[in-house]
Amino acid sequence: MNVDLYEKIWMWASGLLIIAFLTTIVVGVAGSSLQPPSHVETIDPTKVWNDPRFAKRGVTVDDHGATVVLIAMMFAFQPAELHVPANRPVTFRLTSADVIHGFEIVGTNGNTMVVPGYVSQFTTTFRTPGEYLIVCNEYCGLSHHLMSAKLFVDAEGARP
């Protein structure tokens, strides 16, 4: 079988592009310490409000960092205002009581899907104290544009 020179060039170029794209994905994930979302932990979405894992919503700070427990619902995050310490790992644990929501901390790498029936979890560290906007970045209904919350990153020692 005789393959034309231009066909060989295009096949090699296509193969090299595929390898280059896959390499950028691997380097990007490894270099940024990104963790893909997982659906390891499940929850009954009709019983979210009574589930002991989400009974104490808000921020809990300990020696290892902070844990944020949050429920997304149409068209709000509960709780709507959070205070976390700067320069310490913050683990977010989220679930949805109704439909699929997005959870994005604007200007940071904090971003995940909040799917009913599953617990989404990710950990990040905020280096810069200040106020951050949390938005739902997945269309969830007519008042989707109103779904937001505030995250305050407090300087070390600013809050008890």
Residue 160, pLDDT > 60, answer no
pLDDT tens for 116-153 read 999 999 999 999 999 999 999 999 999 999 999 999 99
Whether 159 is in a domain gets the answer no
Give me 21's structure tokens.
């794209």
CA distance 12 to 22: 15
51 and 93 share a domain?
Answer: yes
The residue type found at 138 is E
User: Quick one: pLDDT band at residue 57, thresholds 50, 70, 90?
Assistant: very high
Whether 150 is in a domain gets the answer yes
Cis peptide before 160 (omega within 30 of 0): no
141 and 107 share a domain?
Answer: yes
For residue 35, the model assigns a pLDDT of 63
Report which of 37, 4, 39 is spatially closest to residue 123, judged by C-alpha positions.
37
Report which of 88, 80, 77, 64 is spatially closest to residue 158, judged by C-alpha positions.
88
